[in-house]
Amino acid sequence: VFSSVTSVLDMSIFKDQFVLEDLIQELKKKNTALSFGPLQSSGRISVQGPFPAIKLLRDFLLAKAKSLSEKDKREESKSHQRPRKKLQQHRLTTETSNFVHDAHGEKQVVVLDTDTYHYMKYFFPRTFLGNDVVISPVTDGDITTVHIESAGSRSDAGRALRVKEKIKDQYIKLQNALRKERIYFEKHTRGEKERYERVCGSLKSHYPSVLVIPYRTHIDVIGTSSEIFKFTKEVSS
């Protein structure tokens, strides 16, 4: 059981629609079990409290961010190709910094952007490996929560923490470099989807560091800005 968790929330995504100070006051009234730190000029704020309360706050903010994102989509042009964006745009960024010990050993939690998590899992799988450590990711939309628990003796109390720090270090490096492009299917037919997947597969050898994730209605392309620009240009040609 997680007795206390500290998260850093990036509230800057709401600054165009809300006065952040007023929004924080509203959150304080609705989440009395949580302790809020001062709001930074960057829009970040630290929040501490029980893990279930942190999760409820996260779910509330994700729903609010999603509604804003859907509003933005309605206001976009009818183009099926969305502009390239940093992976964290219109997303809630959280990073847990506390850990606890219980009867089963040391536990750590780190919350990642799901797209970056997929990229790390594909290209840097060893990041999620550790001796005598059990790593359990739980994906909920744009957020993936990685639970890290020591499975060995408690003599090496920092084992799970070292794995967490390794994940965080790799995540920070990628977060600043990666971008995502979304290619929508125009006709929503199986043939069109297969054609896009075939073209993307043929380009893979030319862009080995680009990750392609197919979905029912679109394909996400994740990589550096220059690479995904060239990649999507070739896909569309």
Count of CB atoms within 10 A of residue 165's CB? Answer: 13
Let me know whether 17 and 81 are in one domain.
Answer: yes
Q: Is residue 114 part of a domain?
A: yes
Q: Which position has the higher pLDDT, 74 or 167? A: 167
Q: What is the pLDDT of residue 159?
A: 84
Query: What 3-state DSSP class applies to 113?
Result: strand
Picking from 86, 116, 150, the residue at the C-terminal end of a domain is: 86
- The enclosing domain of 159 has a CATH number of 3.30.70
Q: Quick check: is 224 in a domain? A: yes
Q: How far is CA 158 from CA 107, 145, 154, in A?
A: 10, 20, 9
Band (4; pLDDT cuts 50, 70, 90): low
Closest CA to 93 of 135, 131, 45: 45
Residue 187 in tokens: 């006709």
Residue whose pair of structure tokens reads 């968790």 in the numeric block: 5
Last residue of a domain, one of 175, 195, 219: 175
Per-residue pLDDT at 156 exceeds 90: no
As a whole number of angstroms, the longest Cα–Cα distance in the chain is 59
Determine the pLDDT at residue 71: 55
Query: 166 and 116 in one domain?
Result: yes
Q: Are residues 40 and 55 in the same domain?
A: yes
Q: Of all residues in the chain, what percent carry a pLDDT higher than 70?
A: 79
pLDDT of residue 152: 64
Give the pLDDT confidence score for residue 157 in this predicted structure. Answer: 62
Q: Are 178 and 224 in contact (CB under 8 A)?
A: yes
For the stretch 58-115, pLDDT in tens is 878 887 777 666 555 555 544 444 444 444 433 334 444 444 444 445 788 888 888 8
Residue 143 sits in which domain range?
Answer: 100-175
Residue 147 lies in a domain: yes
Q: Exposed/middle/buried for 167, CB within 10 Å: 0-12, 13-18, 19+?
A: buried
For 45-104, the DSSP string reads: EEEEE-HHHHHHHHHHHHHHHHHHHHHHHHHS-S-SBPPPEETTTTS----B---EEETT
For residues 9 and 91, what is the distance between their CA atoms, to the nearest angstrom? 10
Q: Which pLDDT score, from 0 to 100, does residue 175 have?
A: 77
Q: Is residue 94 part of a domain?
A: no
Q: Say if residue 54's pLDDT is above 80.
A: yes
Question: Domain check: are 159 and 191 in the same one?
Answer: no
Sheet order of strands, 100-102 included: 100-102, 105-113, 143-150, 133-140
Q: Is residue 93 part of a domain?
A: no
Any idea which residue has 């809630």 for tokens?
Answer: 92
pLDDT of residue 74: 52
Q: How many domains does the chain contain in total?
A: 3
